[in-house]
Every structure is written in structure tokens, then in C-alpha cells.
Amino acid sequence: MDFQALVNASGMAAAVLSVEKTNDFRDYGDIRIVCANESYKKIMGPAYRDNMIYSELLPKEPNFEDFCYRCAVKKLHLHAYVDTKSMGLWTDGTYIPLSADVDTENLSYFLFFFEFTHAPESERMADVSMEIAPLVIQTCINLRGSEDFANTMSTVISDIQKYTDSFCSCIILMDKQKQKYSPLCASFKDPKITIDDFMPYLTPDVVFSWEDTLSKRDDVIVKNEHDMAELEKVNPVWVKSLRAAGVKSLVLVPLSQGKKLLGVLFITNFDIDKIVELKQYIELTAFFLSSEIANNDLMEKLEFMSNVDFLTDVKNRNSMNARVDLHVSGENEIKTPYGVVFADLNGLKQCNDSGGHEAGDKLLKSAADFLKKHFGDDEIYRSGGDEFVVIVPGCKKDDFEKKVALLRTQSGYGEPVCLAIGSDWSNKKEDLRRCMHNADEAMYADKNEFYKQHLDLARK
């Protein structure tokens, strides 16, 4: 067969590649670009030459090699639309096996042609097999059909585990900047096993090594010992953990928002006979999962921003008003009996005048930390300016009064944090607003008395 004429007839960038067949534990040996058309050569640049090993031109890519082997040797017609991170582009590649008649004893051939896109395109991503399409559609329905994020993710991961017939399917969320990570959901073939059984293998050095390993590939696939040995060359720490956990096969796919890695979806010890379909299903599912996780993350951040005072890291006035409304409506009642404390900083204006607003901010933070020390398990709000409100649910009157008395003792004149304090307690649900009013009035009376006794700190 005239390979050059074949690629020249293509209207896209095209090349004929050969895969060396081996008789050892590996499935294949060298993968070479036998010849290419002008479009292919132009894209690859002056380093290209006929019959070169592909990894002399492009970074070595295990997933690409697996597709090459399956197409050339197994004679499978394949298609993949992947994020080619080494080039910063998405590659829409088609693999067409050439007739076994042109193969030699040691070499099998296939035709490869492709197009680049700068970003993922929905039409190309939607080009999936009839077997995969219903599964992905069902995932989308599950993701959009429930307001319970955690429950939805558990349903989706369970479906993935069943389809892949894997030992484990799991989503791990990661925040490299904060050096935090946690499992979002997991499903095991054995219902007696939980993700907690495997967290000792998911150490920080393992989890935060994934981002570097994924930096030059769209995902990580391990089908056998050969793949495991190849992965060990680039990430020995992870492979040591995988071997200790009894992992023989693995698919790990990034969950990303733009260039930010949100986490990973991984499955272990799966049905490797379905690897081509599985890869397509997992990658497309991961795309939709990433979107849902990013959206949930945004909503949580917006909720946090709308309810937390950034200076003191306690809840803000908006959150306090919402909490009171939920209690009064009965939607989320504060456990009865309860106590309410109003606390206002004494001397904040003088602190600002003498040390500037930076000193005043520091004093406000100290006040919030002081209240956390005394009421860390309760609801603390910065209701405005130099004023804080604490709601203490489910407390006996004696216990509440002792806590307030200790607070007064440790926040008097001359202490690092000096507070004017008012409080009230009730065992009736409907008394919350009355309690808050009473505590507020008592706090202002305490504050006025403080400035009468300390005229040097009297406010203008």
C-alpha cells in the first residue's frame, strides 16, 4: 500500500503510524510516524521526519499509545476528543486500522488524522457511542434533578461503580493552596468497605502529587503491571501507595474549572476489557461533574461571603437576621431554653484615634477571638461596628449566667479586651426578640456606666 498517497488524500492533518508487536510482557514496542501529509508536517514543525518514534516529536502519552495499540494491532476503529495539555489544545483524533494484509510479522499500521480546538466544543464532546450516551444522559439528569448536592454525588458515584464493575469509585476534592483535601463520595463493590479504610493510603504527598502527574496528560490509566511500572517512573510515591492498597488497575480523571484542579474522579480494579468505552464514559462524566462541583463551590463561597464577617471570621448581621427569622417562622428553631448576650467593645474609638484603623481592626479581631474562647460552641455574630451578639441554645439558666459572669470578669477595665455586656435568658420559644431587646438595653446601660466611671475614655 502507498502510505504517502493515503495520507495525501486526506483533507485533514493525517499520518500513518506503525506499532511494534512484542512477545514479552508488554503489549507493544516502538510507535513510529511512518509518513504524514503536508498539513501534519506543518503543525509538527521542522523537527518532524518520516519513520521517527513519535515521542521524539511529542511528549510520551500512555493513553495515546494504548489507542495506537488497540487500533493497529486489535483493529479497532477509535475516536477520542481529549485535552492535550502538552500543547495547550484539545485534540479531536480518529484512529482507523489498516488492513492486516499490509501488516508485517513485527509491525501493524493505522491511519491517524486530527483537528485541534482551543477549547472543548460541545458538538465534538457529544460524539459518543450509543452505549455511552444513555449513561451520560442519566448522569446529567441526576445532577440537575436534585437540590441535595451530597446525595446526588453519592448516586452518581454509585452508578459509575456499577457500570465500571470497579472495586472502588470515588471523588476526592482538593485545595492545594490551603493544603486540604477530602473525599466527597465513594462507592465500593463490597458494601462493608468504606473510604475510611483507604484514607491511610491517601496521604498528602500522594494526593498533591496528582496535579503534577496530570499536568501533561488528560488522565491516568493503568491496565496492567506494565502501565503501573511506567507510572512508577514519574510518580513512585503514588505507585508505592497503590501497590500497598492492592490496586491493579486504575483510571484517574481530573475535575477542573479552567486551569484550577478541583479534585479527581478515580476508579480502581475495574473491568479492563471495557477500557475504551470506560475511558469515554468517565471523561465525559467528569466534564459534567466538574461543572456541578464548581457551581456548588461557587454557591458555598457566595453563601459564606453573605453570612460571614471577613474581619473577625464570625457570622455577620445578615446571618443573624436570617437566623432570627428562621427561628420565629419555626423553620429552624433555636433549642429552648436559650440565652442571648450583647457585647460592645469599650474604647474602640480611642484605639482608632491613637493607633489608626489597623489597631482598631486588631482589637475587633481580638474581641471576636475572646468571644470564641467563651462561646466557641454557640452562635456568634458581629451585628455591626463594635457590637457582637451571642445566641446560646439549649442552656440551663445557671450555666448561662456563670458563663456571662466569667465573661464580665475577664473583660473588665484594664483587660486586653474590655466589653460592655448585657444578657437575658428564656425557656420560651416566642421570647427570642424580647430577649435580644432586653440584652441590648442591658448592654447600653452597662456601657454608659463604664464611661461614667472612666471619664478619660468617654466618647464624643
pLDDT tens for residues 403-452? 999 999 999 988 999 999 999 999 999 999 999 999 999 999 999 999 88
Whether 318 shows a pLDDT value over 80: the answer reads yes
Q: Using CA atoms, how far apart are residues 308 and 310, in angstroms rounded to an integer? A: 6
DSSP 155: H
Q: What pLDDT score was predicted for residue 146? A: 64
Phi, then psi, of 129 in degrees rounded to 5: -70, 160
pTM: predicted TM-score of the whole model, two decimal places: 0.59
What is the side-by-side order of every strand in the sheet holding 107-117? 52-53, 28-36, 13-21, 107-117, 89-97, 78-84
3-state per-residue secondary structure call for 365-424: HHHHHHHHHHHCCCEEEEEECCEEEEEEECCCHHHHHHHHHHHHHHCCCCCCCCEEEEEE
Contact 266/231 with Cβ under 8 angstroms?
no
DSSP state of 9: T
The mean per-residue pLDDT over the stretch 283-306 comes to 79
Residue-wise pLDDT tens digits, 42-63: 999 999 999 999 999 988 888 8
Taking a C-beta distance cutoff of 8 angstroms, is the pair 200, 245 a contact? no
pLDDT the model gives residue 460: 42
The DSSP bridge pattern shows strands 250-257 and 220-222 to be antiparallel
CA nearest 441: which of 374, 348, 321, 344?
A: 344
Determine the distance from the C-alpha atom of residue 361 to the mean position of all C-alpha atoms in its chain, rounded to a whole number. Answer: 33
Taking residues 2-13, what's their average pLDDT? 95
Provide φ and ψ at 106, rounded to 5°: -110, -15
- Helices then strands, each counted (H, E), the chain: 15, 16
Mean pLDDT of all residues belonging to the chain? 90
Cell 471576636 appears where? 368
Tell me which residue has cell 488524500.
9
Going by DSSP bridges, is the β-strand pair 78-84/180-188 parallel, antiparallel, or unpaired? unpaired
Q: How confident is the model at residue 458 (pLDDT cuts 50, 70, 90)?
A: low
- 338 pLDDT higher than 80: yes
pLDDT digits (tens, 9 = 90+) for 81-133: 888 877 778 889 999 999 999 999 999 999 999 999 888 887 777 676 667 77
Contact 426, 434 (CB under 8 A): yes
pLDDT in tens, 194-243: 998 999 999 999 999 999 999 878 899 999 998 999 999 999 999 999 99
pLDDT digit string (tens) for 272-287? 888 888 888 888 888 8
CB atoms within 10 A of CB 329: 9
Residue 250 has pLDDT above 90, yes or no: yes
